[in-house]
Structure 1
Amino acid sequence: MTEAVQLTEHGGGVVQITMQDRSEKNTFSHALVGGLIEVYARIAARPDYKAVVLTGYDTYFASGGTQQGLLAIHEGKMTFADVNMYSLALDCPIPVVAAMQGHGIGGGFVMGLYSDIVLLSRESIYTTNFMKYGFTPGMGATAVVPYRLGESLAHEMLMTAANFRGAELERRGVACQVLPRAEVLPRALEIAAGLAQKPRAALVLLKRHMTRALRERLPQCISEEIAMHEHTFHQQAVADRIATAFGR
């Protein structure tokens, strides 16, 4: 493991992934991305694991792309799909519970929504802020956000790039548990423990069945998002916004 990502065994087949790249506030740094890819590979290779809890540290869950990474996409040096870390939870063979105890920003929020069960914090901010910088959403956001939160709310979040507190999303009727921050991780571990009481083979088969529609939709969605980026991401105004508004 790396300092940015820790894997903890809780016994009974439950494991916890903790994202804690404190110096980068859990943006998609090389350390965080590499650590996540490594731990999910280890989990997939362990037949005794039955459920995963994915969480962050303090008031941060995950904060999306780094400023350098966004500028690299703007300059045409890479695309968000060059390294597929965004759907690691979806591709994990066993159920993943996202304990989003802290802020979920942009791609960080989208990454959490690929989990099978999502818990939010009333105090935290959640946003799909791609359009804040003038480029259209990526990471499969146009597929997974409506899949998880519903079409109407997804359209509002993706188009406006507005910030939403967990408490507001709760009032809007999101189909996720929304709890005080201190209760999010304990509740997620409780759910994972309940999942781990079931046979692993049944969990794997049921997850594969229930996520099939999203997995089948995702490749075309990624292709369409990259095509939209060709028209939106390479504008000078986008670079200016990334340079001046990033992190604000």
Structure 2
Amino acid sequence: MSEPIIELKDLANGVAQVRMQDRVHRNAFTEALICGLTGTFATINRSTDCKVVILTGYDGYFSSGSTREALRDLFAGKFKFTSKDLGGLALNCPVPVIAAMQGDGVGGGFVLGAFADFTILARESVYTANCMNYGFTPGMGATFILPRKLGFTLAEEMMLSASAYRGEELQKRGIPFAVLPREGVLPRALELARTLAEKPRFSLVTLKNHLVGSIREQMPRMIEQEVAMYQLTSQHTDANSVEPMSEK
């Protein structure tokens, strides 16, 4: 029996672990992975026992971002960036979310992790916001959340150049995320999760609401601006030249 694409595990004492493990597509944003993540976070959001969530991938992959099919559907107007709110999963989760990014985070996969309340990277893994390699501007709230989390200068460089960075290089650049050897990422996430889970759930929810409230309020307007930019830039991009964003 094959393993599920999304595994939800109760680690006890209010800690839940969500593992993305689509080995065929390297955790790319297939319809199955999107639906699985959305349904899993809906289950977590209904729980009154969960205090903290760890979101992680498998082996050398956190998430490979959008698929070729999704990009072509985007060009064809079959859906918009607003249709599948992956960034909002961590942002709108009532309890703290830790992104244990032990593997590569590419394009939207990197943005997905950046929306978490805590993000932990691996020194060996590759992280990139690479939309501009394909001729169009970033979506999913990237232009808003990356400058807030990484600092404007580094975020601007990442998005404009679409360059790939090892976690070790980002650490040297002063990124405000913990950066560890790959094998240490999940243990650090577990340690942090257990520390958070010692606090009362009501207090965790209340404080998170306060800390991210302004981001939640501003996100819809920022997404609208990203959609407008995409509509402009896509007019000058050849859809036939689009390759999978998961390729490095």
Look up the match of 1:153. 154
Tell me the CA shift for residue 245 of structure 1: 7.8
Worse overlay, 199-208 or 2-11: 2-11
Number of the residue aligned with 2:192: 191
Q: State whether residues 126 and 167 of structure 2, in contact with CA within 8 Å, keep that contact through their aligned partners in structure 1.
A: yes
Which residue is 1:172 aligned to?
Answer: 173
Contact 1:134 1:241 in 2 (8 A): no
Paired position in structure 2 for 1:240:
240
- 2:91 aligned partner: 90
Other-structure match for 1:116: 117
After superposition, the Cα gap between the structure-2 partners of 1:12 and 1:233, relative to the gap in structure 1 and judged at 3 Å, is same
Shift of 1:86: 2.3
In 2, Cα distance between the equivalents of 1:167 and 1:244?
Answer: 25
The aligned amino acid for 2:16 is V
For 1:105, give the aligned amino acid: V
Matched residue of 1:164: which SS? strand
Find the aligned partners of 2:44 and 2:78 in 1 and give their Cα distance: 31
Aligned 8 A contact 1:133 1:242 in 2: yes
Residues 120 and 184 in structure 1, CA contact (< 8 A), matched pair in contact too: yes
Asked if 2 retains the 8 angstrom alpha-carbon contact of 1:93 and 1:204, the reply is yes
Residues in 2 aligned to 1:236 and 1:211: alpha-carbon distance in whole angstroms: 35
Query: RMSD of the TM alignment (CA)?
Result: 1.3
**Cα distance per residue 1:61-101 (max 9 Å; x no partner):** 01111100001111112112112122200100000000000
Question: CA–CA distance in 1 between the matches of 2:242 and 2:189?
Answer: 34
Q: Share of identical aligned residues, percent?
A: 47
Mark the runs of 5 or more structure 2 residues left unpaired by the alignment.
none
For 2:8, the equivalent position in structure 1 comes to 7
CA displacement 1:32-59 (0-9 Å, x = unmatched): 1011011101111111110000000000
**Aligned 1:56-75 pairs, distance under 5 A:** 56-75=57-76
Does the 8 A contact of 2:144 with 2:222 survive in 1?
yes
Distance in 2 (alpha carbons) for counterparts of 1:46 and 1:151: 36
What is the deviation of 1:30?
A: 1.1
For residues 122 and 214 of structure 2, the distance between their equivalents in structure 1, rounded to whole angstroms, comes to: 28
* Closer/same/farther in 2, CA of residues 243 and 112 from structure 1, 3 Å limit: closer
Contact 2:86 2:140 in 1 (8 A): no
Name the counterpart of 1:128.
129
- The count of residues paired between Structure 1 and Structure 2 equals 246
Alignment correspondent of 2:216? 215
Match of 1:103 in 2: 104
CA distance in 1, matches of 2:148, 2:244: 32
Cα distance in structure 1, aligned partners of 2:237 and 2:91: 34
Instruction: Report the Cα distance in structure 1 between the residues aligned to 2:78 and 2:139, rounded to whole angstroms.
Output: 16
Whole-Å separation in 2 of the counterparts to 1:160 and 1:173: 18
Please list every run of 5 or more consecutive structure 1 residues that lacks an aligned counterpart in the other structure: none
Q: What is the identity, as a one-letter code, of the residue corresponding to 1:240?
A: N
Runs of 4+ in 1 over 3 A off after TM superposition: 243-246
Q: Distance in 2 between matches of 1:172 and 1:37?
A: 33
Instruction: Provide the secondary structure at the position in 1 that maps to 2:116.
Output: coil
TM-score (norm 2): 0.96
1:34 match: 35
The SS at the match of 1:97 is: strand
Partner of 2:44: 43
Q: Determine if contact 1:130/1:161 at 8 Å carries over to the other structure.
A: yes
* Alignment correspondent of 2:80: 79
1:199 and 1:236 map into 2 onto residues whose CA distance is 50
